[in-house]
Every structure is written in structure tokens, then in C-alpha cells.
Amino acid sequence: MHHSAMDRRTFLRQSIAAASGLVVALQLPGRSDAAATTAASGTFSPNAFIRIGTDNRVTIVVSMAEMGQGVRTALPMILAEELDADWASVHVEQAPVDAVYNNPLFHMQGTGGSSSVRAFYTPLRTAGAAARAMLVQAAANRWHVSGSDCHTVAGHVIGPKGERLSYGELALDAAQLSPPEQPSLKKASDFRLIGKEVHRTDTVDKVRGKTTFGIDVELPGLLSAVVAHPPSLGATMTSFDATKAKAIKGVRHVVAISAGIAVIADNFHAARKGRDALKVEWDESAGAGLSSDSIRQAMALQLKAGNAMLAKEVGSVSAVAGPRVEAIYSAPYLAHACMEPMNATAHVMADRCEVYAPTQAPGPHRAMVAGMLGMKPEQVSITQTFLGGGFGRRFCPDFIMAAVEASKAVGAPVKVVYTREDDMRAQYYRPGAMVQMSAALASDGKPLSFEARVTAASVARASGMGKPDELDGAAVEGLASWPYATPNLRVDWVEHTQGPGVWFWRSVGSSQNAFFSECFVDEMAHQAGQDPYEYRRGLLAHEPRLLAVLDLAARKAGWGSPLAKGHARGIAVAESFSSYVAEVVEVSLDSDGTPRVHKVVAAVDCGTVVNPGIVRRQVQSAVIFGLSAALSQEITLTAGRIDQGNFDTYPVVRMPQAPVIDVHLVQSTEAPTGIGEPGTPPLAPALANALFALTGQRVRSLPLSVSLTRT
């Protein structure tokens, strides 16, 4: 029996594409048969997001994955605001898998792309306002007054003479009414929750250890599995001997699944010992010639190729003369390194399957599991646990597929857990990338042209969402959106097809492309003999929101003011997920030449802010995530094998290395935009630009620790 990592990725692509076709776009949930049933049992359920009991308990259903970004607080705040609920009476519940909970931006039930608040802001406000209107009408009917003469405050309807009824007292009456088609929404000036630093609803349970993450799931008769995965790219299994594995105390089964060989035992420790004792023969010839050096050489050749796909063109870059700035930049493959390793629990039975998993995509994953088992989607339940980090990685179904296959093979519930090494070597990475950029400058230093050719693998195709020979927008985001006033512009992309598997990584293409473009702008400013902040200012008059965060970050960081000896600042700005972030980094060098980041000042415009505390923490998180990658993280290959396996070779920023991070929010009445990812893209370029200001050395490849050593 042969198993190939490449075959597995092809299967994943096809499965995800098929699953995506099985889900439908969200409509605002109206009154349903289920709602009518729950109304009869003593609750008011005007739509899929709200239940109000006669005991005044308000249950708000959250359909997005909580992976630390705060959706189980921000989304209930939006709905409770329009409902005028008493926040102390609000309880949060995770949604089941149902098309009614689809993400309106993705048309599937999935969490990613910094989309939760921006996708659900209006639907949840409308859902809350509709329920509030029904409660008001129920009270007005009881008092024989007009609904327009009543108002609501903190879970109560107040009548024209000061009469007062709680939502619980009105729940059954309201359940008999029809929701209004277009309920009126509050003015921002009347908000009581939106814009406030409301405490997170999940913190207390997390601190007390009560929160159930995927890795915490327990079921009667649950077995644990650890999988022997192919050790290199394209490796296929030729044979295996389970004798020594089965001799380990607690090991019950050794079975071949699509991902490799699953060793299934009474507990994780026994399963891991069994996996380590397993004797497997692999044919590794397919990836033997693939290394980081060979990938770099291939990318360098691709930059000169003539088969690029055009992403954006304005004017004619070839017709422009003048002094030129030219540079080649590169960025490595990166792992997600979520603190909770990949895991999933599945119980396959004759007529149904139960899955418990920290997944970002329960909708597509349910459809995929159903397809694997030949079941209807409604025969598969997915319970979405809390996620110990996601960063895009848990959109991939590999760990769920492994659990389902293992459970089916042994007829019992099985929890598959990746070791850290399994996780880091799983071949789902941010794409390595290389770009060649060129600009012609006018006599005043302003750009007459900007040209960029980038080569990187396609995450769209890897995920089954992209078509062959079609531009992958993620590969050029952050470059094609070049914001600076430039009359002639050309950006194109050459798809790189060698190398390990790629996947969505926090801020996707912008994570590397903002490093490329924002460092290059610094190079242009230097050649023009201008301050890099002032140079940007002069080119962003037509981008007022970008200019505003640039100015705010510079002002709050004291740009231009004296610094301690041996310290320097760098600046960068980026738009991603419709949000605007500028960051100023202050850096020095330790005695051994290692960069030490002392302070990061971030200015953020993400439209209307639902919870400023959550926004600040997300930006701080994104800064630490980006700083870890910029300083020292890379995934490298030797003879088809991934070199890194754990945090000793793939370090994250520890507390002693962490800088002070000041986050400043732009007050805005624009619609909310993304915040989980936009804090990451400006970090690496701001740091690299600061190092140039300090040392005169221009670092054009990441991670900085490696580049500084090489030079």
C-alpha cells in the first residue's frame, strides 16, 4: 500500500473545492420551525443568533471560531448593543454547523481573513434590532400603547408612563410576533456597548482551566493516535513492520491511513512510543534533490522568466527614464507554530460520525467528512472547540481527516494528536517568495515608475480555491496595492511550483510583500536623500486613511526626536484586510550583533472599533508574531526533509525579548474592518528599516538573524 504526501495534497485540494460547493451564502436568519419549537418550550428565538428565556437569560450564538482573537466577546457585543440586552445576563454559545451561520464574506462557515467583525457587523446588528422591535411591540400590545412611545434599557422595555417589563416577561408574547423586515438600527451616539472595553467572556474560564480546547476532549472509550508521516517531500511508504510498536504497553492498533501509519493506543504517551518503535521503509527519491538552495536558485531563474501573470499595470514602466533603484528581496517559508498542536477527535459509527475539533472551517470540514464516509452532511456533527491559535493553519482538514480515518479503521472514538515535530514538518507553510523591484526617480526624488515581479507558490491553488493559469491575488497582495503616487506601475507574478506545501499564514501575501515594498520605499527615500517618513508623506495625499496612521505612529513615536546612543527608528505602513496600520520600531544591537527591539508604536485604523481592548491586544499579538518571524524563523529543507522540528530551531520571541508595544487607534465612523492580521505586515519592514538607519546595512532577506550573519 503506497501513500504519497503529494497525493494527499491533491486529495485535500479536491476535497476542499468539493466542500466549498456544498455550502450556501448566508441570509439573515429569520423565524424558523426550530425557532417556533423553542418558543413553545419557553424561549424567544427570533433568529438563529438569539434565545431569550423567561428567566431573562439571553443566549447569543457565535458562529466564528474563538482562537484567541476575541470573537466570543466582540460578536455578542454587536448583537447585544442593538438588542439593548443586559450584558450581565448574556451567555455565549458556539454555533452548530449550519448554512445559516455561514460567513457572508466566504459563503461558508469558516473563520479567517480577519473577517469576523466586518462580516457580521450588520447582520448581527439587524438580528438584534429585529428582536428588540418584537419585544417592544409585545410590551406595547400588553399596555395598549404605541410601540413608538416605548423604549428599551438593559433588558427591559419602558412604557410611556414608566411602565417596565423585562425581556423574560415578554419572551413568550414576542415569540408570537413576526420579525420586522427592516428594523431601524441605533445611531452610534446611542451605543452603550460598542466602543467600550468590555471584559472578554472567555477569560475567567481560561484562567481557571475550565475551557475545552480540542486537545482536552474526552469521550468514553477514547483512544489516542500518533501518525508516522512521510519524512520528506513526495516520500512513499514501501513497507512497515508493526511488531515492535505493538509490543509497547497500551498500543492497541497500527493501521495505514492516507496521511501515513497511525499508531492507536490507550493514551498519547503510549501512542507516541509506539510510533517511535514502528519500523517503516520509505522511498524518498522524489524529494531527494530538493533543498533550500535549489529552491532559491529556481526562484532566481523564475524572476527572469517571460511567463509572468500580470496583476496590475498603469501607464508604461518601460517608457520611463531616470535614475533607478533596483533590488531583489526574499522571504522564507514559515510554519504557523500554533501553541496547541494540531489535533482532532472523531467517532465514526454505522450511520453517523461525531467530530470534536479546533477547526477554523467546520462547514467545509463537515462536507468533506461526509464525502469521505459516503454519508449525508446531516449525518456528521462537528463540535467546534476553542482553538489554541489558528493563524490559517486550522482551515486545513488534514488532522480531521486523520482522526476520521483512524476511528473508522478501529471502530472506536480516536483522538489524533500531532507532536510538535509532526506539526512543524506537516508541509503547510507560508510560501517562500522572491521579488525583483525597480523604480525610476524624478529629479525631486519622487517615483516615476515602480515595477515588481514576485515568484511564490499559490495558496489559492493549494487550498483548492484557485484555478490553474489564473492569477492568485494573495501572491501579489501588498505589492499590487502599491499605495504611493506613481504614474507608471507594473506588478506581475510567476508561480513557483517546487517545494513544500503552502497554506494561508497570518496576513497571507501581505506578510512578505509588505516587507518587500516598504523596505524598497525606504531605499527610494535614501536615494532621494529624504527622511523616510517625510518621503512617504509626500506620496500619500490621495490615501488619507493610510496617511493618517502614518502621521499618528510617527507623532506618538516621537519621530525625529533624539534617541539613546546606539538606537535607531524605522517606519513602515501597510493596508491589509481593509485596515490601515503604521508601525515605528526602535532597535539597537546587542554586543554580539543581535538586534534588540525596545519599542514598537502602532497606529491602527480598522473603522468602527467594537472593543478597543481586544483591538489593542490583537495588534500586540500580531507584532510579537511578526517579530518572531522577522528575527529568527525560517523553514529550510535538506534533501527533501524539513530541518526544523521544534522551538529550539524555530524560536518564538520570549518575554525578555518582547518590546514595549504602544497601540493607538484612529477614531472612525467607517464600517469595521479586519484586525486579527493587519498588525503583522508592517513589523518586519519597520525593523529592517530601523536596522538600516542604525548600521547603514540594507537587509533584503529574512530572517534578519541569518541575513546579518551572512553579511
- β-pairing verdict for 151-153 and 156-158: antiparallel
Beta bridge partners of 313: 490
Q: Check residue 351 and give its pLDDT.
A: 97
For domain 33-202, the CATH class is: alpha beta
Q: What value does the mean pLDDT take over residues 542-569?
A: 98
Q: How many helices (H) and strands (E) does the chain have?
A: 20, 27
Q: Is the pLDDT of residue 379 over 70?
A: yes
Q: What value does the mean pLDDT take over residues 289-300?
A: 97
Type and span of the H or E element at 495:
strand 488-495
Mean pLDDT for all residues in the chain: 94
Q: Which residues contact 33 (CB under 8 A, 6 or more apart)?
A: none
Domain segments of the chain: what residues? 33-202, 214-285+342-417, 292-334+428-710
Per the model's pLDDT, the better-predicted residue between 1 and 197 turns out to be 197
Q: What is the pLDDT of residues 215-257, one digit of tens each?
A: 999 999 999 999 999 999 999 999 999 999 999 999 999 999 9
Cα gap 603→144, rounded to integer Å? 52
* DSSP-derived 3-state class of residue 561: coil
Q: Check residue 20 and give its pLDDT.
A: 37
* DSSP-derived 3-state class of residue 598: strand
Q: Is the pLDDT of residue 570 over 80?
A: yes
Q: Which of these, 15, 14, 51, 17, lies nearest to 32 by C-alpha position?
A: 51
* DSSP-derived 3-state class of residue 450: strand
Q: What is the pLDDT of residues 390-436, one digit of tens each?
A: 999 999 999 999 999 999 999 999 999 999 999 999 999 999 999 99
Number of C-beta neighbours around residue 152 at 10 A: 18
Q: Which of these, 359, 395, 358, 353, lies nearest to 378 by C-alpha position?
A: 353
Q: Which of these, 72, 117, 132, 150, lies nearest to 608 by C-alpha position?
A: 117
Confidence band for 708, pLDDT divided at 50, 70 and 90: confident
Q: Is the pLDDT of residue 6 over 80?
A: no
Q: Is the pLDDT of residue 19 over 50?
A: no
Confidence band for 27, pLDDT divided at 50, 70 and 90: very low
Beta bridge partners of 111: none
Confidence band for 688, pLDDT divided at 50, 70 and 90: very high
Question: Is the N-terminal amide bond of 703 cis, ω within 30° of 0?
Answer: yes
Three-state helix/strand/coil letters over 215-273:
HHCCCCCCEEEEEECCCCCCCEEEEEECHHHHCCCCEEEEEEECCEEEEEECCHHHHHH
Beta bridge partners of 571: 584
Q: Check residue 30 and give its pLDDT.
A: 43
Q: Check residue 26 and give its pLDDT.
A: 26
Confidence band for 465, pLDDT divided at 50, 70 and 90: confident
Q: What is the pLDDT of residues 344-373, one digit of tens each?
A: 999 999 999 999 999 999 999 999 999 999
Confidence band for 8, pLDDT divided at 50, 70 and 90: very low
Q: Check residue 469 and give its pLDDT.
A: 85
Q: Check residue 477 and give its pLDDT.
A: 97
Q: Check residue 41 and give its pLDDT.
A: 60
Q: Check residue 709 and give its pLDDT.
A: 67
CA-to-CA dists, residue 440 to 476, 491, 533, angstroms = 21, 15, 20
Burial of 655 (0-12, 13-18, 19+ CB in 10 A): exposed
- β-pairing verdict for 50-53 and 43-47: antiparallel
Q: What value does the mean pLDDT take over residues 687-695?
A: 98
Q: Where are the beta strands (DSSP E) in 54-203?
A: 58-62, 90-94, 151-153, 156-158, 164-166
Please state which architecture CATH assigns to domain 292-334+428-710.
Answer: 2-Layer Sandwich (3.30)
Alpha helix (H) residue ranges in 390-483 = 398-410, 420-424, 459-462, 473-476
- β-pairing verdict for 324-331 and 568-576: unpaired
> Same CATH fold, 292-334+428-710 and 214-285+342-417?
yes
Confidence band for 707, pLDDT divided at 50, 70 and 90: confident
**pTM assigned to the model:** 0.94
CB-CB contact of 355 with 368 (8 Å): no
Q: How many CA atoms lie within 13 A of 302 on its CB side?
A: 23
CB-CB contact of 345 with 414 (8 Å): yes
Fold exhibited by the domain 214-285+342-417: Aldehyde Oxidoreductase; domain 4 (3.30.365)
Number of C-beta neighbours around residue 444 at 10 A: 8
* Matching residue, cell 486523520: 402
Question: Could you say which DSSP state residue 592 is in?
Answer: T
Q: What is the pLDDT of residues 576-611, one digit of tens each?
A: 999 999 999 999 999 999 999 999 999 999 999 999
Q: Is the pLDDT of residue 621 over 70?
A: yes
Beta bridge partners of 434: 330, 455
CB-CB contact of 492 with 658 (8 Å): no
DSSP codes joined into one string, 359-408: -S-HHHHHHHHHHHHT--GGGEEEEE-B-S--TTGGGS-HHHHHHHHHHH
Q: Round the CA-based radius of gyration of the chain to a whole number and report it.
A: 27
Q: Check residue 710 and give its pLDDT.
A: 60
Q: Check residue 305 and give its pLDDT.
A: 81
Q: 677-701 as b/e, with b when 16 or more CB fall inside 10 Å?
A: bbbbbbbbbbbbbbbbbbbeebbbb
Q: What is the pLDDT of residues 466-521, one digit of tens each?
A: 888 899 999 999 999 999 999 999 999 999 999 999 999 999 999 999 999 999 99
